[in-house]
Structure 1
Amino acid sequence: MVGYTVEVHSTTFFTLQSIYIRFIGSTCSSKPQLLHSILCQQVRTYKVSCEQSVGTLLLVELEAKQSWFKDFFQDWFCNKIVVTTPEGETISFPCYKWLNSKKPVVSLRNDKATLKKEETNGTLLNQREQELEVRQKDFRWKKYHDGVPYIIDAQEPSDLPEDVRFSFTKDIEMKFNAVSVLGELQLEKWTTSSDTWESLEQLHRVLWHPKPNEYIRQHWDSDEFFGYQFLNGTNPMAIRCWRTKLPDNFPVTDDMVKSSLGGSCLQKEIQEGNIFLCDYKRLSGFEGNTINNKKQSLTAPLCLLYSTPEKKLIPIAIQLNQKPGVENPIFLPSDSEWDWLLAKTFVRSAGFHEHELNVHLLQTHLLAEVFSLATMRNLPSAHPLFKLLIPHTLYTFQINVMARNLLISDDGVFKKYTAIGHDNAVNTFLPDSFSTLTYSSLCLPDNIKERGLENIPNYYYRDDGLKLWDIIHKLVKGVLTFYYKSDADVKGDPELQNWIWEIFVYGFLRKESTGIPRSFSKVEEVIKFVTMVIFTVSAQHAAVNNGQFDFGGWMPNLPTTLRLPPPKKKGESTLETFFQTLPDVSTTVHGLAVLFLLSKKASDHCPLGVYTQDLFSEAVARWHISRFQNDLHKRDQEVNIRNRNLPLPYDYLKPANVDNSVSL
């Protein structure tokens, strides 16, 4: 008889199952050995006797069997198994899976990261291939709508494999929040009112717990803060420096903007890189939704902005629809107070739709699902890229299934409380947005250059984002170059090539115009792409998600819809017109509840660089991860120091506030 020492690490505190372990080695396999019929500790050590040594320990097989409680099967989550062999070798076998009645058996291999070509043992190669066969049955592609990325084949969270569902804590919190958020905001009595808001004071009295950001409430109507939001608000991706003649459909003249430019001429400021344009042409042609029996208004504005010598970005001209004409005037800061405020409000409402559907939903949530699904289907647990990416898939599938059911469904939030509605959003706007999506637009350094925003001052999203991009890139390069020694290693990795092929086919619909690679031939190509993936699902999502209630909690700053059409003539807008244009009371409170829920951090969130799974055994990979965590900590401190001098701190890309994954 020989003895094995088995250390069981579990997240669940106890299980009533009988847990059996079997050792599979290079010379033979052991019989299943009972660990205990009741595991009641999160870490427990067992002495297991076997008739003989199995040789080099290759695999550990766990099986959960029904214990003495008939008809009762307690799900059990195992983190890892650590085995000390009779020869004195200690080996860690990562698990991080549920054992339950549907999947009572799991086969585990050690924590060494291995490319497929390095598999010299037939047993391990077979385990690798069988693991992917099972995963490809559990994780299936499904067409969502024409012209948009594919999604996972799951209608409800319960359809998802249990290993990728919410934790018990997060599940309870999300269910509780979904039904209680209006109560938490103390807005229940306003949920059925189709009345018009009487005043900003009334709005302030109603929206008091939690209060909207006070700085934003006090400055929302200023030109300076309006411009600031294009750089550091919920959508820092819409603005671009305009270096050529303005579009023909936006006939702004020198006389219109001369006073705003301090006496300078428009062409001179364009040449000097001080003129910026935000064009919402994607919203053109949509018929407004109907809410509370009232036809809503949706415009497709063009907004011209100027970066002043005082380093402020201010709007200098707004046209609310794409076709110029007498009934589509160009509004200016010199117009009446209510004309100008209404024009800016229409721009902010258009910005809400572009942000939520394109920049937030499509470019982070749906792409995160593509990357996660391709990872689960094509990279076995022994693959170094799987180990690197798996923390960045946490909860993504479930949060997206819930979003499709609750937010962008036939009877969801977009249908009930936004100007664009459901059909326009899903069937037309999303495919149109996807048609212009490119690889370079997802890579922040390239994106900043393409939009000409390298030098505009006070662009904290750019500054913080580029720092995080570099920190992530350093991690990815350090880890992947340890496993991919040459370009030949990349070309010869079928699992990696299948991964990027499925992303190209199902995520980007075989569109070569996107610039997304269909295969990899160089190590540097893999490094850049994986950097983009991790940045997208962590930093980029944080930048466009976490400030939603900050900027939208004061509704006039980010209305989900507007009830009156834009003014066709100048000088006719009034205070009364303004409040008649804003969303009604019930639409406001429901919109705020959703923004509050989407911005609320879960108690079990995992900040960037915090890994709950111990997957890498190689010292080099572990060192790079440790350096990554140190770099993030230093960056936290730098952001804190910068923010001390800002009237409105920008902390959406502070690493401690960035989640590893799209989990909210």
Structure 2
Amino acid sequence: MSLNGTPERPSSIVPKQHSSVTTRIVNNLNPICQSTQQLTLKGKFAITHSQSKSISGKLLCVQIYSGTDADPETGKGRLSEKAYFKSGESVKHSHDAKTMIYKIKMHVDSHFGTPRVFVIQNQHKKKLFLQSASLETSNNRIIHFDCNSWIYPIKKTKYDRLFFSNRCYLPSQTPSALVELRKEELDRLRGNGMGERKEWDRIYDYDYYNDLGDPDKGQDHLRPVLGGSRLYPYPRRGRTGRKHNITGPSSETRPQPMNFNIYVPSDERFGPNKLKELKSNCVHAMRHFLSPKSELLPRQNYANFQSFEEILGMFSSNRNLTIEGWMLDNLRKLIPVEHLKGITQAIKENSGQLPIPQIISENEWAWKDDMEFGRQMLAGTHPTRIQCLMTFPPQNKYGVQSSIKQSIIEQNLEGWTLSQAMEKGRIFILEHHDYLIPYLNRINANGVCAYASRTLLFLRSDGMLKPLTIELSLPGSSLLEINRVFLPAKQGTQAALWQLAKAHVLVNDAVYHQLISHWLYTHAVVEPFIIATKRRLSVMHPIHRLLNPHFKDTMHINALARLILINSGGILERILFPGEICMQISCDLYKEWRFNEQGLPADLLKRGMAVEDEDMNNPTGIQLLMLDYPYATDGLEIWVAIKEWVKDFCSFFYKDKEAIEADIELQAWWSEIRTQGHGDKHNDTWWYPMTTLSNLVEALTTLIWIASAKHASLNYGQYAYNGYPPNRPTLCRKFVPREGTVEFGEFLKDPDKFFLKMLPDRFEMSLAVALVDVLSRHTCDEVYLGCQQSPGWIDNEVIKNRFAEFRQELKEIQTRIMQRNRDPKLKNRRGPGNIEYTLLCPDMYGSSASTSGITGRGIPSSITI
């Protein structure tokens, strides 16, 4: 409807040229018929200031474009006069950020049509965060705008900022008054690929990972460029355009790490409180876990923990709960003064004891239990690697067979033969072998002791996994390997050796989890989809509207990861055993990545954890081999709910396959993802052809699954399990000793002390715990799956009603998850550590309330940490 209550005209009715000519004729022939009636528009704009005091609205102004009536001179919608803001009431005051509602009032003539776009100009010296806006027409109609973006001073940007309303249009259905604005905005977002990007830019472009090394610091910091080559294929990241290093011309220079100042488009930058909260969490974790002495010591002089009680002391309330002078001095060098004051104040207000990780909160020895060892492969922080064993003995790609003997494992199969157990899908393998073997000599030359590993497990009749054997391997001469096989034992020397072998397996699994499953297969692979969406799909495009909540904060957190986590000398190189070749290993595993295998049903089929189900009433299309697999059971319900929602959404806008094929923005988006965003995969034949509704739905469901539920399952349980380092160590300093050696004698003398000396030293452990403490925290502005940032997020009641059904379905899924957790027959739902599986509960507390902290539950819609 237009301002005077008449229906909006679709663009196909009057072409732009004809509309312009017709308007001129009417204006010239019948000026008496022109109405001089003035209609009133009122507007409200929610703006958050990064400083606590409000600012004058006199330096903020907007103009409004009609979405239905075009200006005959420009072909764009009619443009109103400027209106300046008037200050209104304060609606929220959080930390040092204050949200104010500003108002406008303007008059337009009766031919103006329906407002669909506004442009805003910031004449202040500081940036502002525009949360949302609404316009009220003369017939009391409210038009909503979801903004959630920084508005930088006009002196810096040199152009006004434009926002479209929450009405969606396919390209072919765009009203003529909006066609040119739609095109101009996409052109501006794509930029020209030149120059260094500034903080206030809104330009999306692709680049290689050429900013992880820092060769100007020396050869030790030289790292290969990831992406764009056969040797180092990788997803693309957002381009920053920084100048290159002098000594390494293929590498970009790097900003100062703890300033957290790295370019991402202004729409992707954290909101006013997020960055401050993240910095505060980092300092909070450092204060608890890092001692000044360990920071100053050379690596080879770091001490080990001498007892398990000493490790537990990291969580003691007796620790100093203030920022020590040494840390404050260092923080002043790293963090801008304006941020540091707020961080220190936040720490004083929240200086309580860190929670004890759940794995030891009820039973401090639960982590040593073999059943807990197996359970965590199904319901821990990394339940996506275990596979059903298809052939025995396992062998590598060169045909070299494992040294595990059939006879030694058949003793523990509850009377089954190995072939019978395999036929019934009851033998499983956790494999960390083939991808590691080529790198072990290089890794082990750097002061760590790493094996490749294979772990076989048996599915017991009670639904739990029983470890059968562990094989630890080192490269030998030619294609041969040096293998050692360990068997479970209850007591004595063999039990202690078994515990050492398990630690090496857990090290491998922790590294694969952090580098591959978490970083590469969620964070890194999603970023190209975000860039392509912003470059190729207008914000008015329905698919953009569907996906945008699942992209919140991801580019910014990825940029910070490049700054302090995955860079040369960064945190992951310091705490993970591959060290400087961490990212090189992730390149090798990206070669195996296929988008059409990332959806949960496809992933479970690939790993042999499920078989296809021909039952047409089964919406998943698969049947699990084990009933008590919490990640898969809960995840499949979430997957189905997402897919049904996506299908209903897409079916509303696309009535047939021809509509999908004719959507020029959608086709350009899908092409750019394949040829640029994942350009090293562009020749692969497994990409879905974007020609049918079913393929579109599958692709979008997969993307949303990765960004929401999959990431949540891999990230927010880290503190519960990895927060106690003996349960998930990140490197080993000793091999398992062999009989007859000096080390074996040392081991026999005190197995526990040997175990502790094998683990990371104090500093490495403390840094690892500090990291997972930060990563496991939900932040204050989180938006959870099934929730939206505003009630008017889309201008379509049918879609909003269907989304409400999706939200209700997620609530019911959560209820069923909690019921399963109370079922004593489902032993993997809790295990020896009595840790409920809640990582796929959609809400943190069974409600939509945004509460920050470590909760071990809640599915944010996007990858935000």
TM range (shorter): over 0.9
1:21 aligned onto 2:62: yes
Q: Deviations over 1:388-426 (max 9, x none)?
A: 11111111011001111111111201222221113x111
1:106 aligned onto 2:161: yes
1:505 aligned onto 2:505: no
Q: For residue 436 of structure 1, what is the amino acid of its counterpart?
A: E
1:253 to 378, 389, 405: 405
Deviates more, 1:133-142 or 1:559-568: 559-568
Preserved contact between residue 371 and residue 465 of structure 2 (Cα < 8 Å): yes
How do residues 343-362 of structure 1 correspond to structure 2 at under 5 angstroms?
A: 343-362=501-520
Deviates more, 1:523-532 or 1:630-639: 630-639
Preserved contact between residue 288 and residue 298 of structure 1 (Cα < 8 Å): no
CA distance in structure 2 between the partners assigned to 1:342 and 1:513 by the alignment: 44
2:184 to 130, 143, 146: 130
1:63 aligned onto 2:132: no
CA distance in structure 2 between the partners assigned to 1:456 and 1:548 by the alignment: 24
Preserved contact between residue 262 and residue 560 of structure 2 (Cα < 8 Å): no
Equivalent residue for 1:49? 107
CA distance in structure 1 between the partners assigned to 2:793 and 2:572 by the alignment: 40
Preserved contact between residue 641 and residue 809 of structure 2 (Cα < 8 Å): yes
How do residues 221-232 of structure 1 correspond to structure 2 at under 5 angstroms?
A: 221-232=368-379
2:837 to 646, 650, 653: 650
The normalised TM-score by structure 1 is 0.92
3-state SS, counterpart of residue 297 of structure 1: coil
Q: For residue 307 of structure 2, what is the amino acid of its counterpart?
A: S
Equivalent residue for 1:69? none
1:331 aligned onto 2:522: no
CA distance in structure 2 between the partners assigned to 1:541 and 1:397 by the alignment: 15
269 and 400 in structure 1: CA distance in 2 versus 1, 3 angstrom threshold: same
Equivalent residue for 1:174? 278
Residue segments in structure 1 that go unaligned for 5+ positions in a row: 67-71
Root mean square deviation, CA, Å? 2.6
1:320 aligned onto 2:472: yes
3-state SS, counterpart of residue 439 of structure 2: coil
CA distance in structure 1 between the partners assigned to 2:413 and 2:475 by the alignment: 25
1:141 to 206, 219, 231: 206
How do residues 578-593 of structure 1 correspond to structure 2 at under 5 angstroms?
A: 578-593=755-770
Equivalent residue for 2:84? 35
Deviation at 1:266, TM superposition (A): 1.9
Equivalent residue for 1:4? 40
- With CA pairs under 8 Å and 6+ residues apart, which has the higher RCO, 1 or 2? 1
Equivalent residue for 2:172? 117
Preserved contact between residue 596 and residue 687 of structure 2 (Cα < 8 Å): no
Preserved contact between residue 231 and residue 461 of structure 1 (Cα < 8 Å): yes
CA distance in structure 2 between the partners assigned to 1:288 and 1:599 by the alignment: 33
Q: Deviations over 1:421-463 (max 9, x none)?
A: 13x111x201111011123430101111222222224210000
3-state SS, counterpart of residue 368 of structure 2: coil
Q: For residue 337 of structure 1, what is the amino acid of its counterpart?
A: A
Deviates more, 1:196-205 or 1:490-499: 196-205
3-state SS, counterpart of residue 321 of structure 1: strand
How do residues 164-563 of structure 1 correspond to structure 2 at under 5 angstroms?
A: 164-185=268-289, 191=295, 192=297, 194-208=302-316, 209-213=354-358, 214-215=361-362, 217-248=364-395, 249-280=401-432, 281-287=434-440, 295-321=447-473, 327-334=482-489, 336-422=494-580, 424-426=581-583, 428-453=584-609, 454-511=624-681, 516-517=686-687, 519-563=689-733
526 and 202 in structure 1: CA distance in 2 versus 1, 3 angstrom threshold: same
Q: For residue 662 of structure 1, what is the amino acid of its counterpart?
A: I
Q: For residue 648 of structure 1, what is the amino acid of its counterpart?
A: I
CA distance in structure 1 between the partners assigned to 2:635 and 2:736 by the alignment: 36
Q: Deviations over 1:249-286 (max 9, x none)?
A: 21322321133223433222112211111211212232
What is the identity percentage for the equivalent residue pairs of Structure 1 and Structure 2? 24
Preserved contact between residue 113 and residue 616 of structure 1 (Cα < 8 Å): yes
3-state SS, counterpart of residue 785 of structure 2: coil
Q: For residue 91 of structure 1, what is the amino acid of its counterpart?
A: I
Equivalent residue for 1:77? 129
Q: Deviations over 1:123-174 (max 9, x none)?
A: 3111111111111120110112031101011366442222211112111111
CA distance in structure 2 between the partners assigned to 1:500 and 1:489 by the alignment: 15
Preserved contact between residue 417 and residue 590 of structure 1 (Cα < 8 Å): yes
Preserved contact between residue 389 and residue 534 of structure 1 (Cα < 8 Å): yes
3-state SS, counterpart of residue 864 of structure 2: coil
Equivalent residue for 2:774? 597
Deviates more, 1:322-331 or 1:599-608: 322-331
310 and 96 in structure 1: CA distance in 2 versus 1, 3 angstrom threshold: closer
CA distance in structure 1 between the partners assigned to 2:859 and 2:441 by the alignment: 35
3-state SS, counterpart of residue 48 of structure 1: strand
Deviates more, 1:451-460 or 1:80-89: 80-89
Equivalent residue for 2:804? 626
Deviates more, 1:428-437 or 1:258-267: 258-267
582 and 126 in structure 1: CA distance in 2 versus 1, 3 angstrom threshold: same
272 and 114 in structure 1: CA distance in 2 versus 1, 3 angstrom threshold: same
Please identify the structure whose Cα radius of gyration is greater: 2
Residue segments in structure 2 that go unaligned for 5+ positions in a row: 1-36, 72-77, 91-99, 192-202, 210-225, 227-231, 241-253, 256-260, 317-353, 396-400, 610-623, 824-829, 844-857
CA distance in structure 1 between the partners assigned to 2:315 and 2:132 by the alignment: 47
CA distance in structure 1 between the partners assigned to 2:122 and 2:720 by the alignment: 50
Preserved contact between residue 262 and residue 559 of structure 2 (Cα < 8 Å): no
301 and 501 in structure 1: CA distance in 2 versus 1, 3 angstrom threshold: same
660 and 87 in structure 1: CA distance in 2 versus 1, 3 angstrom threshold: closer
CA distance in structure 2 between the partners assigned to 1:326 and 1:313 by the alignment: 28
Q: For residue 199 of structure 1, what is the amino acid of its counterpart?
A: S
Deviates more, 1:254-263 or 1:480-489: 254-263
CA distance in structure 2 between the partners assigned to 1:197 and 1:503 by the alignment: 48
List 4+ stretches of structure 1 deviating above 6 A: 288-291
2:265 to 158, 161, 182: 161
CA distance in structure 1 between the partners assigned to 2:284 and 2:813 by the alignment: 36
257 and 11 in structure 1: CA distance in 2 versus 1, 3 angstrom threshold: same
Deviation at 1:608, TM superposition (A): 1.2
Deviation at 1:289, TM superposition (A): 8.1
Q: For residue 11 of structure 1, what is the amino acid of its counterpart?
A: I
3-state SS, counterpart of residue 196 of structure 1: coil
Q: For residue 636 of structure 1, what is the amino acid of its counterpart?
A: Q
CA distance in structure 2 between the partners assigned to 1:93 and 1:270 by the alignment: 57
Q: For residue 378 of structure 2, what is the amino acid of its counterpart?
A: L
CA distance in structure 1 between the partners assigned to 2:290 and 2:235 by the alignment: 38
3-state SS, counterpart of residue 535 of structure 1: helix
389 and 455 in structure 1: CA distance in 2 versus 1, 3 angstrom threshold: same
CA distance in structure 2 between the partners assigned to 1:237 and 1:187 by the alignment: 35
CA distance in structure 2 between the partners assigned to 1:84 and 1:32 by the alignment: 17
CA distance in structure 1 between the partners assigned to 2:304 and 2:521 by the alignment: 35
CA distance in structure 1 between the partners assigned to 2:442 and 2:56 by the alignment: 54
462 and 515 in structure 1: CA distance in 2 versus 1, 3 angstrom threshold: farther
114 and 327 in structure 1: CA distance in 2 versus 1, 3 angstrom threshold: closer
CA distance in structure 2 between the partners assigned to 1:289 and 1:247 by the alignment: 25
CA distance in structure 2 between the partners assigned to 1:81 and 1:553 by the alignment: 42
